Amino acid sequence: MSSPLEGLSAIVTGAGRGLGRAEALELARLGAAVVVNDYGQPGRDGSGGASTGPAEEVAAEIRAAGGHALAHTGDVSDHRQARELVESAVGAFGKLDILVNNAGILRDRMVFSMSEDEWDSVIRVHLKGHFNTTRFASAHWRERSKAAGAPVYGRIVNTSSEAFLAGSAGQPNYAAAKGGIVGLTTSSAQALARYGVTANVICPRARTRMTEDVFAGLARPAQGPDPLAPEHVAPLVGYLASPAAGHVNGQLLVVHGGMVAVVERPRVRAQFDTKQDVFTYDELDGLLTPYYADRPQGETFAATEVLGLRRRDRAD
């Protein structure tokens, strides 16, 4: 069995269930020692008491297979606890090499019905949670690089969503957080490259408790593998965490069911220049109104057809 991550250590957040669990198991299978982080709340909306159960179970599963793992049940949206998470990996394994951010919650509501807390809580767990762990992991790599006088090994794999690409009517908080994670990733990729660190972001499509509404109409196949199983996503995370992906940096990839799509940065579709010193209303009306009138009704910013995306609107 290939072990490209042998001798490396990793943190996977939100690793007690679903995608995070599959990713933690894959990194361990490829040879990494893994800190399995999960706050353990039973509700996908972040409700219920924290529990050590989910993280401990996955860590035990890794150890039973002959790997090295420890459980961490801290809340990554808390700055102090995120620092302690990174410190626990360094303390247990001597250093941190790989950070996979996956933790998140859902509190869906139409934008005209959403409460302040529903907005804040999703932004906090997804976007701030990604920032907190990145903040302390990147400081660790920078300090090691400065001490060594050379680049070190560092990999960040963040988790966004096609909801940010195509919009999701009942998830303005989630879509905004996932868009923010893309910006955080590309900024981190530029800032950390000099230290030997890469940062990439994936938009996974998988059947988990977070997406049970989205894929409610797509039953598991009676025979053969489920194309929406999280195990289809985990190998890409393993690759991005590996030495082979050293030249992959600041990239956005969509992944599901045996497909990986590399997403381009936004490109200019059309440009209009004023024939005067400054645009006037009438000139813009004469240029932009016919342009948009000729485009399909309801066309959005993202070319969802390219990715084959079909999301169900969510009720409030």
Size (the chain), residues: 316
Catalytic residue among 39, 174, 195, 239: 174
Among the listed residues 248, 252, 275, the one whose alpha carbon sits nearest the alpha carbon of residue 264:
252
What's the rounded Cα separation, in Å, for the pair 68 and 36?
10
Catalytic residue among 9, 77, 161, 168: 161
206: region left, alpha or beta (phi > 0 left; psi from -120 to 50 alpha) = beta
Q: 227: which 2 tokens?
A: 């194309």
Asked whether 102 and 15 are in contact (CB, 8 A), the reply is yes
174 classed as catalytic: yes
103 burial level (CB within 10 Å; 0-12, 13-18, 19+): buried
Catalytic residue among 160, 178, 239, 242: 178
257: region left, alpha or beta (phi > 0 left; psi from -120 to 50 alpha) = left
Q: How many other C-beta atoms can be found within 10 angstroms of the C-beta atom of residue 20?
A: 29
Among the listed residues 153, 48, 44, 151, the one whose alpha carbon sits nearest the alpha carbon of residue 106:
44
Q: Which residues are catalytic?
A: 161, 174, 178
